[in-house]
Structure 1
Amino acid sequence: MTRDRWADLQRSLPHHEVPVVLVDNGSGDGTPGLVRRHFPHVDVVELGENLGAAARNVGVDRASTPFVAFADDDSWWAPGALGEAVRLMREHPRLALLAGRVLVGADGRPDPGEAAMAHSPLGTAPDLPGPSVLGFLACGAVVRRDAFLAAGGFDDVVFFMGEEERLALDLAALGWGLAYVDQVVAHHHPSPARDPLARQALIERNRLLTMVMRRPWPVVLGEAGSALRSGPAGRRAVVQCLSRLPRALAARHRLPAEVEVARRRLDEGIPLGV
Structure 2
Amino acid sequence: MILQDKKGLLLYRTDRLGERDWRYDSCYKLIFTPYGKSLYQTSRSDIQIEEDQFFIFNPKFEHKQIQVTKEKFLVEIEPNLLNEIASQLGVPGTDMEFASTAFKNPLLLQWVSFTKNFLTMNENMTIGMQKLFIESSLIQLTTLMLQYAPGSQLEELPHSLYSPNINRVLDALKQSYQQDWSLDDMATIAGMNKFPFSHAFKRETGLSAYSWLQLFRLLKSQHFLTKTNRSIISIALDVGFKNVSSYNTLFLKIYGRTPSEFRLLYRRNS
**TM-based fold match above 0.5:** no
With the length of structure 1 as denominator, give the TM-score of the two structures.
Answer: 0.31
| Greater RCO (Cα-Cα under 8 Å, separation 6 or more) | 1
With the length of structure 2 as denominator, give the TM-score of the two structures.
Answer: 0.31
